[in-house]
Structure 1
Amino acid sequence: MRFACLSKPLLLAAGLAGLSALPAAAQEATGPKPPCGGEFGTWLEGVKAEAAAMGHAPETINAFFASVRPDEAVLRADRAQGVFQRDFIDFSRRLISENRIANGRANAEKHDAVFDRIEAEYGVPRGVLLAFWAFETDYGAVQGDFNTANALATLAHDCRRPELFRPQLLAAIELYERGGIEPASTTGAWAGEIGQVQMLPQDIIENGVDGDGDGRVDLKGSAADALISGGKMLSSLGWRPNEPWLQEIVLPQGIDLRLTGLDQKKTVSEWQALGVTGRNGALGAGNLPASVLLPMGQGGPAFLAYPNFDVYFEWNQSLVYVTTAAYFANRLEGAPVYDAGNPAPGLSGEQMVRLQEKLQARGHDVGGADGILGEKTREAVQAEQERLGLPADAWPTPGLLEAL
């Protein structure tokens, strides 16, 4: 659950082949990069030396790396990001089906005692974990067929994000010592996550729980182990019990759109004073801080994002994916389908890249011109909309691109 991807078979079923959602840590890592690139065998000797310096026995290190090989398919999956260029309505409709909702509710009933335990110990609602479980592996059915050790070594050797994956590769050695991984046979997602909720080795070491009491942590074969471990991890990332995460709202006519966006927070009481109401049910407690999120601008769906929504970004930093996961959790908890509204046409991936280049030229930090509408790009868009006298709803349109 610094859940890096959806497995390819699940994506094909969802019409989203090639999705690769990078872990938050991959996008936040800073500082000098560890050694990477060059001849794989030579690089691997450096990893072995580092593992030995950490206290791992030479025979353990050699046994772990005996079958490790680079995997070009991992690199191809890592480079595939185009699906995140879809807008929220398109993305959410592709991932959320009536069948997936029905299976979620059936699994909630089947594992009722497990979810009761998670809610009691960690305060994480079942809808939240069910949504993660669904999107990661279709409730455990499709867990990925990439060799985990090969995937981690490939990405640690690659010079794009070795600062994330080298520590995970070294953590996998410790996991091997604990009996939690077999380098030659353990499989999972392309970015090295294992099990039904797709956790990286370091996260398994820190948060793995023997949920079914059989004396071992089996995130691949035991739904109880996987779900309870996921609940513990969300708790460690800052989940606040008995609080909402995302709620659909209705905005009053004429609200100042400059107040919207995840970088703008007011208390629920302050939003209510401005005329914001829940579309279905009351808003959260009046003292809770919250932001108004308009994933497709003033004409599309509108949500109030509470502090727990921030925890989703510890899982993944794709705004469209995080919003869809949080919304799906609501659906699994009984919320109706959102009001899609009538949003203005957005930009194609190519147009988004051009927009981001223009924003960068104006001094905005958009996190790179990747064609993906993330929160940094939205903030820059909102600033430029305000400067140009346009509705500052952070939704980029062809009109804004032309104006820039």
Structure 2
Amino acid sequence: MKPLTRILAGIALSAAGLAHGAHAADLPDPSRFTPCVAELKSGATARGVSGSGYERLTASLQPDLKVLDFLDYQPEFRTPIWDYLSGLVDDERVADGQAMLRQWGDTLNAVAARYKVDPATVVAVWGVESNFGRNFGSRPLLTSLATLSCYGRRQAYFRGEFFDALKIVDAGDVKAEQMVGSWAGAFGHTQFMPSTFLRLAVDFDGDGRRDLVGSVPDALASTANFLRKAGWREDEVWGYEVRLPAGFDASSAGRRNKQPLSAWAARGLKRSDGSPLAGDGNAGLLLPAGPKGPAFLVFRNFDAIYGYNAAESYALAIAHLSDRLRGGGAFTTPWPTDDAGLSRAERRELQVLLAARGHAIGAIDGMLGDASRAAIRVEQQRLGHTVDGRAGQKLLKALKENR
């Protein structure tokens, strides 16, 4: 899950992408990589990368064609919202986030004073993006971005990010060996794309470098700067859960379809605790699972979070986690499913049960990768469940009962 990478879904194929990779996603030719990288030098130097720096940083690059498999995989859009949120906003992450609020309280207060973004929201981004610095991603950025610059779709976009990543290293802000992250090029504590780094990263600890990998203060301040530039308003909340009246016509729902609170109140909406809507401002009605699931009125600050990673489920995870860090509870309305998602602790429990049944799933880490999902399908088949590789409460319960 990484800032700004999801907006790639709307970027059209470029002429360069057509020329260099119209069929590469199907049949990538590794021998094309070295000449492609050589051809990119002029573009990099035009963006401010030194010629010697380009040669030094690209001399040993080899393509990682596996990243092409991720181009069209977007978990924010493919995963049921109750699964997506259950793994991102759980008791474990709330406890860790509250510990970070205490540990970095002075820094966060200084960040809030300068950028006018509250500590809980900044820490929520940190928690979702890298689990508070525990998971930066493992792919070398220059390798991934060079590969995506030479193969597949969206080559023009990735070439820009490749050039900017080279510029960051060439300038000395971050060392090349520290530039590891997501398949698409996001890196650091709060997973900035290289272009975002160059626009919005700040040196908050005063050491002369903008370092989102080795400096927590720089990362937290840069995140707040991003949100401020995205339109964050200090005196507003992101939104809140609401109740819909019986028979509500949901055709006017949508984050962008903002209406005065008075208009929503006139249509029978109330706060989740039953109290009436109050105050001024315009809000959109967000129904991430349709009118039978939790409903939210969202304000301008929700849009600012959405700008960090263009998926409503992602923005809701950040917003909800920030509320939980302030002491808020779970949503009042349950998700419209009879098989809720699993927290990370429950996913680890499921993996232990799968391993005990002889499945080779690798590390017990709560990350349900291909091996875990293959094991899940085997057990679903055995239990007579729908075979879809999904981990839910029903499967966990069944395996616990059949140890």
TM-score interval for Structure 1 and Structure 2 normalised by the shorter chain: 0.7 to 0.9
Deviation at 1:184, TM superposition (A): 5.0
Secondary structure in 1 matching 2:254: coil
Deviation at 1:299, TM superposition (A): 1.7
Among 32, 36, 40, the alignment partner of 2:14 is 32
Among 20, 23, 38, the alignment partner of 2:6 is 23
* Matching residue's letter, 1:271: W
- Contact conserved, 1:129 with 1:230, CA < 8 A, in 2? yes
- Contact conserved, 1:68 with 1:184, CA < 8 A, in 2? no
CA RMSD across the alignment: 2.6
Partner of residue 374, structure 2: none
Decide whether aligned partners of structure 1 residues 51 and 342 sit closer, same or farther in structure 2, where only a CA change above 3 A counts. closer
Partner of residue 3, structure 1: 3
**TM-score, structure 1 as length reference:** 0.74
CA distance, structure 2, for counterparts of residue 87 and residue 170 of structure 1: 36
Deviation at 1:227, TM superposition (A): 0.6
Decide whether aligned partners of structure 1 residues 82 and 108 sit closer, same or farther in structure 2, where only a CA change above 3 A counts. closer
- Contact conserved, 1:84 with 1:321, CA < 8 A, in 2? no
Decide whether aligned partners of structure 1 residues 66 and 288 sit closer, same or farther in structure 2, where only a CA change above 3 A counts. same
Decide whether aligned partners of structure 1 residues 284 and 233 sit closer, same or farther in structure 2, where only a CA change above 3 A counts. farther
Decide whether aligned partners of structure 1 residues 277 and 168 sit closer, same or farther in structure 2, where only a CA change above 3 A counts. same
Decide whether aligned partners of structure 1 residues 129 and 268 sit closer, same or farther in structure 2, where only a CA change above 3 A counts. same
Decide whether aligned partners of structure 1 residues 223 and 184 sit closer, same or farther in structure 2, where only a CA change above 3 A counts. closer
Partner of residue 379, structure 1: none
Q: Deviations over 1:5-29 (max 9, x none)?
A: xxxxxxxxxxxxxxxxx332x1233
Identity %: 31
Decide whether aligned partners of structure 1 residues 194 and 281 sit closer, same or farther in structure 2, where only a CA change above 3 A counts. farther
Partner of residue 196, structure 1: 189
Q: Deviations over 1:246-276 (max 9, x none)?
A: 3111222333322222242211122123232
Deviation at 1:91, TM superposition (A): 1.8
Partner of residue 254, structure 1: 247
CA distance, structure 1, for counterparts of residue 238 and residue 163 of structure 2: 34
Secondary structure in 2 matching 1:139: coil
Decide whether aligned partners of structure 1 residues 257 and 53 sit closer, same or farther in structure 2, where only a CA change above 3 A counts. closer
- Contact conserved, 1:23 with 1:315, CA < 8 A, in 2? no
Matched, 1:127 2:120: yes
Q: Deviations over 1:271-317 (max 9, x none)?
A: 12323222259788733111111111222111111112122332223
- Contact conserved, 1:291 with 1:304, CA < 8 A, in 2? yes
Partner of residue 139, structure 2: 146
Secondary structure in 2 matching 1:144: coil
CA distance, structure 2, for counterparts of residue 83 and residue 261 of structure 1: 17
Partner of residue 350, structure 1: none
Partner of residue 67, structure 1: 60
Partner of residue 101, structure 2: 108
Decide whether aligned partners of structure 1 residues 171 and 117 sit closer, same or farther in structure 2, where only a CA change above 3 A counts. same
CA distance, structure 1, for counterparts of residue 241 and residue 37 of structure 2: 50
Deviation at 1:194, TM superposition (A): 1.7
- Contact conserved, 2:101 with 2:123, CA < 8 A, in 1? yes
Deviation at 1:105, TM superposition (A): 0.6
CA distance, structure 1, for counterparts of residue 170 and residue 136 of structure 2: 23
Structure 1 stretches of 4+ with a deviation exceeding 6 A read: 281-285
Among 255, 259, 265, the alignment partner of 1:266 is 259
Decide whether aligned partners of structure 1 residues 41 and 284 sit closer, same or farther in structure 2, where only a CA change above 3 A counts. farther
Among 162, 181, 184, the alignment partner of 2:155 is 162
CA distance, structure 2, for counterparts of residue 237 and residue 273 of structure 1: 31
* Matching residue's letter, 2:328: A
Secondary structure in 1 matching 2:165: helix
Matched, 1:206 2:199: yes
- Contact conserved, 2:142 with 2:166, CA < 8 A, in 1? no
Matched, 1:292 2:285: yes
Decide whether aligned partners of structure 1 residues 82 and 201 sit closer, same or farther in structure 2, where only a CA change above 3 A counts. closer
- Contact conserved, 1:246 with 1:305, CA < 8 A, in 2? yes
Deviation at 1:67, TM superposition (A): 2.3
Decide whether aligned partners of structure 1 residues 228 and 43 sit closer, same or farther in structure 2, where only a CA change above 3 A counts. same
Decide whether aligned partners of structure 1 residues 234 and 284 sit closer, same or farther in structure 2, where only a CA change above 3 A counts. farther
Could you list the runs of 5+ residues in structure 1 that have no partner in the other structure?
Answer: 5-21, 347-404
Partner of residue 359, structure 1: none
Secondary structure in 2 matching 1:193: coil
CA distance, structure 1, for counterparts of residue 192 and residue 276 of structure 2: 33
Decide whether aligned partners of structure 1 residues 94 and 283 sit closer, same or farther in structure 2, where only a CA change above 3 A counts. farther
**TM-score, structure 2 as length reference:** 0.74
